[in-house]
Amino acid sequence: MAEARVVASPAPAPCQGEGWGEVQSTGFPGELGLDLPLPPPWQGGGGARRTGATTWLVCVFGVLVSGCVPPKPAAPPELPAKPTRPSPRSKPTKPTPRPSETGMTQCSFTWTDFDRVKRTCRLSFPRAGLAASQQEFGCDPQLLKPQQFEARRSISYTAEQARDPAEMARLKAEADAAMQADLRAQEEAHRRKLLERGFAYKDAHTVVTDMPTLWRWNRPRMREVARQLHAATGAGDFVRAALSLVQELPYKQVPEAVRGRFVGGVLPPLEALSAGWGDCDTKALLFACLVDDGAGPTEVILLGGPDHMIAGLACAAGAEGSTVQVFDRSWQLCECSHGVWPPGQIDPKIARPMEQGKWNAQRLRAGGAARR
């Protein structure tokens, strides 16, 4: 608060005229750092007494106002937090093991098989195997673009050979053959890159996912998973339980590119289990890797048709249900993508194109293909 000092000259008698007073202010910096003067003095005699009386009244009024302000109510005491109880409908879930501690990925599945039996199993596999299956499959999308291979022809000859037309024709033929060999070598190197990444040429201009190669790469990684599923479901029901489990996984279209790599819309089996979903060709490959170990009597083929893929299970001639005859034996058809279709039962919409010969069969063990 600014302090004020009143300096007044002796006031004359009221009959002698008006007196004057002077007010001096001490330094009171304002917002801009300037001294703010006090209001001008009162005119008339007795200015000093009136100023003092006014100051006293202001002080008394300030005390009265400050005394009339009600006190701020005190904050209520904090109550201890009420313990929460879990919902009676929610069951506590076990924490997932940390990869840094166990190095394993665990997936729990609960489903109902074809016999209306509720199945439950927990499948675990090394995270290193999952990472390896993701890294080895897929290629740079640039490899799928039309490639232009270049080769130059060069001919070296002497002056004597230049005078001989037959000799010059021979040298040009050799140069042309060398240039064609160079172009074929570049094309073969490009094909080899795609084969090393899990793809194959369907024809001269069409690249497809090499399902036999993917099955061969992932079959060793799936043996332990198949053993765990076999132990949880029993020997007699293993194939049916595996097919029902694959069908129960939610159907979701796999994009053409995953993690910046072209995968042709197919996920490796361990990635499909870890994600918990897949489409028709991803599930068909998963089913093949679960039940076909490459050496036992249970062999699986893949049958691809118009925008769909199913599996074929080796069976005896005359087996019940829908079957096909290819590779010199009978195969029981297995729908893997969705629905409740036991082995040998498929959607009639799929059976009609097969009867018309619009499906291709791929034998995984031999790596061959045949058109039916």
Nearest in space to 304 (alpha carbons), one of 217, 209, 207: 209
More confident residue, 100 or 285: 285
Q: Could you report the per-residue pLDDT of 77-109, keeping only the tens digit for each?
A: 554 444 444 333 333 334 344 444 579 999 999
Confidence check: pLDDT of 370 > 70 = no
What mean pLDDT comes out for the span 7-27?
40
Model confidence band, residue 30 (pLDDT cutoffs 50, 70, 90): very low
Confidence check: pLDDT of 172 > 60 = yes
CB atoms within 10 A of CB 42: 15
Question: Rounded mean pLDDT of the chain?
Answer: 77
More confident residue, 176 or 352: 176
Confidence check: pLDDT of 254 > 90 = yes
The residues facing 125 across adjacent strands are: 105
Confidence check: pLDDT of 127 > 90 = yes
pLDDT given for residue 72 in this prediction: 52
What mean pLDDT comes out for the span 143-162?
84
What mean pLDDT comes out for the span 69-84?
50
Distance CA 313, CA 330 (A): 8
Confidence check: pLDDT of 8 > 60 = no
Confidence check: pLDDT of 141 > 80 = yes
Least confident stretch, 70-84, 93-107, 253-267, 274-288? 70-84
Model confidence band, residue 73 (pLDDT cutoffs 50, 70, 90): low
pLDDT given for residue 74 in this prediction: 54
CATH code at 99-139+204-371: 3.10.620
The residues facing 201 across adjacent strands are: 207
Distance CA 343, CA 340 (A): 10
pLDDT given for residue 352 in this prediction: 77
Alpha helices in the chain (DSSP H): 47-68, 99-102, 127-136, 159-162, 165-196, 211-233, 238-248, 269-275, 280-291, 348-355
pLDDT given for residue 354 in this prediction: 76
What mean pLDDT comes out for the span 345-369?
80
pLDDT given for residue 6 in this prediction: 37
Q: How far is CA 174 from CA 131, 156, 167, 168, 238, in A?
A: 49, 11, 11, 10, 62
pLDDT given for residue 368 in this prediction: 58
Model confidence band, residue 239 (pLDDT cutoffs 50, 70, 90): very high
Cα angle at 134 between 111 and 98, to 5 degrees? 65
Residues of the chain with CATH 3.10.620: 99-139+204-371
Model confidence band, residue 351 (pLDDT cutoffs 50, 70, 90): confident
Torsion sign across C-alpha atoms 336, 339, 342, 347: negative
Do residues 272 and 286 make contact, with C-beta atoms less than 8 angstroms apart?
Answer: yes
Confidence check: pLDDT of 198 > 80 = yes
Q: How far is CA 346 from CA 245, 288, 342, 352, in A?
A: 16, 17, 8, 11
Model confidence band, residue 274 (pLDDT cutoffs 50, 70, 90): very high
Per-position b or e across 178-196, b if 16+ CB within 10 A of its CB: eeeeeeeeeeeeeeeebee
pLDDT given for residue 65 in this prediction: 42
Give percent of the chain above pLDDT 90. 48
Whether this prediction's pTM lies above 0.75 is answered by no
